[in-house]
């Protein structure tokens, strides 16, 4: 009894010490809601941004993995032409009866070798189908790369757009501050009232609010670019002029060079191969088979050797072959419609982007003319205000005209850039213009940084 009490006391003390030690030991905290850290870099070129987006985007990884699936399926289809070797073994009683008597076997084991000789195009059609599907998967990867590049470019453009608008707002604030200083000098000299100063400060406060709005939009665009690329750049270089030098020909779009069209075309050819496979199921399969099996029984053991030419021909399967043929025909028609849909989508996107490019160019030219006129008017009004020939409202009004013209010009400029990117993406030469080779290393590996 005393031993039990002593053991209980020791156990209680030990448990108390463990609990106390656990309380004293710091517990590591893990904030599962925290966003993943991003790398800080000094500068991020447009090409590097796209390549980093390739390495980060899961759609690229998914499309690349599908290529490896296609390669494995192709090897599986080719394996039908190789010899097939199998081992077989069994244990347990089996009874055989023939004209010579009966045998009671207790086990067997052997090896069988078979070689396909001819199947009227089924295996060859399966191999050709997988070749076409592998091409389709590769072109689908190229199309995904173009889509990711377009998204990255548009995020890049959004950052540059709002940075330019912030700079324009800052310049306008500086100009408004000069107007306020002039109004203050005139008010101190008794030439005007203090209400002019208050009015100018109100306009400055309003422009500060507009600038903060642009800054917020710039931060949002920069955050989106960071998510796409995985880096937070301090500076974004100027955009390449090569995008503006592309040839725009809506009447001669090279559909055959589009990755989306080529992927759909390859799928249509693969569907045609499936039709041929389904039709070949009406014909027999010819193969040679050799085998050697060892049988064990109660009285004696023996070998069973075989070398046979086998012909398997389906006679009736309840309409299975015809049903598979009709299904394959339906797949082929759907794939052919997908080709036309891809061409229609390209035509629509290219036409819309081209119209936006023309409109943005015209708006940019009009904005530049408006800015030049408003800037000249501002200088004239400033001189006339000093001579008391203009009111402060005239100066503030022309300052607003200058900012509106400048912001309209910048908006049109970046709208034109965006339309140019969308056109290049639609006709599938965006990455070619930027010098990114999608078909490097046989088109099966991604560009590296």
| Per-residue pLDDT tens over the stretch 156-207 | 999 999 999 999 999 999 999 988 888 888 777 777 778 888 888 899 999 9
Average pLDDT over every residue of 62-79: 89
Instruction: Say what the pLDDT of residue 233 is.
Output: 84
Terminal C-alpha separation, the chain: 76
Is 351 or 297 the better-scoring residue by pLDDT?
Answer: 351
Token pair 């160019």 in the structure block, residue: 361
CATH number of this structure's domain 38-86+120-286+327-443, picked from the four choices 1.20.1600.10, 2.40.50.100, 3.40.50.300, 3.50.50.60: 1.20.1600.10
Token pair, residue 38, equals 């991003």
- Lowest pLDDT segment from 50-54, 211-215, 263-267, 346-350: 50-54
- The whole-angstrom separation of Cα 48 and Cα 448 is 10
What is the DSSP track for 326-347? Answer: HHHHHHHHHHHHHHHHHHHHHH
Looking at residue 35, its pLDDT comes to 43
pLDDT for residue 386: 82
* Listed range (97-101, 144-148, 373-377, 420-424) with the worst mean pLDDT: 97-101
**Distance (Å, rounded) from C-alpha 114 to C-alpha 434?**
54
* Least confident stretch, 2-11, 53-62, 350-359: 2-11
Instruction: List the chain domain ranges.
Output: 38-86+120-286+327-443
Between CA 246 and CA 289 the distance in angstroms is 62
Other CB atoms within 10 A of residue 186 CB = 18
Average pLDDT value for the chain: 83
Which pLDDT belongs to residue 353? 92
Of residues 85 and 28, more confidence is placed in 85
Q: Would the pLDDT of 248 be above 70?
A: yes
pLDDT band per the 50, 70, 90 thresholds, residue 349: very high
pLDDT > 50? residue 376: yes
Asked if residue 40 has pLDDT above 50, the reply is yes
Q: What is residue 238's DSSP assignment?
A: P
Q: Using an 8 Å Cβ cutoff, are 310 and 287 in contact?
A: yes
Residues sharing a CB contact under 8 Å with residue 297, sequence separation 6 or more, in sequence order: 103, 104, 105, 106
Distance between CA atoms of residues 241 and 48, nearest Å: 16
Query: What pLDDT sits at residue 21?
Result: 47
Quote the strand ranges of 382-438, DSSP E.
none
Record the pTM.
0.78
Tell me the C-alpha distance between 97 and 115, whole Å: 31
């Amino acid at each position: 009894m005393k031993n039990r009490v002593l053991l209980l006391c020791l156990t209680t003390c030990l448990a108390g010490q463990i609990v106390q030690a656990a309380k004293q030991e710091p517990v590591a905290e893990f904030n599962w809601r925290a966003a993943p850290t991003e790398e800080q870099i000094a500068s991020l070129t447009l090409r590097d941004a796209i390549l980093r987006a390739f390495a980060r985007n899961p759609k690229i990884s998914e499309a690349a993995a599908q290529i490896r699936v296609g390669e494995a399926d192709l090897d599986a289809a080719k394996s039908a032409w190789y010899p097939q070797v199998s081992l077989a073994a069994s244990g347990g009683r089996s009874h055989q009866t023939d004209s010579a008597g009966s045998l009671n076997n207790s086990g067997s084991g052997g090896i069988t070798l078979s070689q396909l000789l001819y199947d009227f195009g089924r295996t060859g059609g399966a191999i050709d189908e997988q070749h076409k599907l592998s091409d389709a998967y590769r072109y689908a990867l190229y199309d995904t790369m173009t889509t990711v590049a377009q998204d990255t470019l548009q995020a890049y453009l959004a950052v540059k757009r709002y940075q330019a608008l912030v700079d324009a707002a800052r310049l306008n604030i500086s100009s408004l501050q000069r107007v306020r200083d002039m109004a203050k000098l005139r008010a101190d000299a008794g030439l005007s009232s203090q209400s002019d100063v208050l009015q100018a400060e109100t306009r400055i406060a309003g422009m500060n609010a507009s600038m903060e709005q642009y800054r917020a939009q710039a931060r949002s665009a920069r955050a989106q670019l960071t998510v796409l690329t995985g880096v937070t750049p301090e500076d974004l270089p100027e955009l390449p002029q090569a995008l503006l030098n592309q040839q725009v020909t809506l009447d001669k779009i090279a559909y055959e060079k589009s990755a989306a069209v080529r992927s759909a075309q390859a799928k249509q050819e693969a569907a045609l191969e499936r039709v041929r496979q389904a039709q070949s199921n009406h014909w027999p399969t010819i193969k040679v088979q050799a085998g050697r099996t060892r049988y064990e029984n109660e009285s004696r053991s023996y070998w069973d050797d075989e070398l046979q030419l086998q012909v398997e021909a389906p006679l009736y399967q309840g309409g299975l072959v015809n049903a598979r043929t009709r299904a394959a025909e339906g797949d082929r028609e759907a794939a052919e419609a997908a080709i036309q849909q891809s061409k229609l989508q390209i035509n629509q996107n290219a036409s819309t982007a081209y119209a936006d490019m023309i409109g943005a160019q015209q708006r940019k030219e009009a904005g530049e003319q408006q800015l030049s006129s408003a800037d000249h008017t501002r200088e004239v009004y400033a001189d006339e205000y000093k001579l008391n020939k203009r009111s402060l409202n005239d100066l503030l009004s022309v300052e607003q005209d200058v900012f509106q013209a400048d912001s309209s010009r910048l908006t049109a400029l970046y709208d034109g850039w965006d339309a140019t990117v969308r056109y290049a993406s639609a006709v599938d030469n965006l990455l070619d213009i930027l010098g990114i080779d999608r078909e490097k290393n046989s088109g099966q590996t991604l560009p590296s940084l």
